[in-house]
Amino acid sequence: MTENELLNELAKEYYVSPIEPDEITAEMLADSLNIGTRAAQLKLQKMVKAGRLTCRKAKDGHNHDIVAYKKKELT
């Protein structure tokens, strides 16, 4: 494996995609409910534990790491 091949492989593995239109952040929920961001995080984490939402690491519009939540798809 060449250096470039290894770099490309690692770049694909560690790429974090931007937030999608069907996802929200704790900050978005906090703004919507007029509550603190930490309270919104706790509500969202509780919903993830209950199996109602999924979460993943994403990038916001400023290329900062965030946690994105979305409704769990039924299988």
All structural domains of the chain with their residue ranges: 17-71
Task: Please report the pLDDT score of residue 46 as a whole number.
Answer: 98
**In whole angstroms, what is the distance from residue 63 CA to residue 16 CA?**
10
What fold is seen in the domain 17-71? Arc Repressor Mutant, subunit A (1.10.10)
Tell me the per-residue pLDDT of 8-63, one tens digit each, with 9 for 90 and over.
999 888 899 999 999 999 999 999 999 999 999 999 999 999 999 999 999 998 99
Strand, helix or coil for residue 71 = strand
Q: Which helix (H) or strand (E) holds 22?
A: none
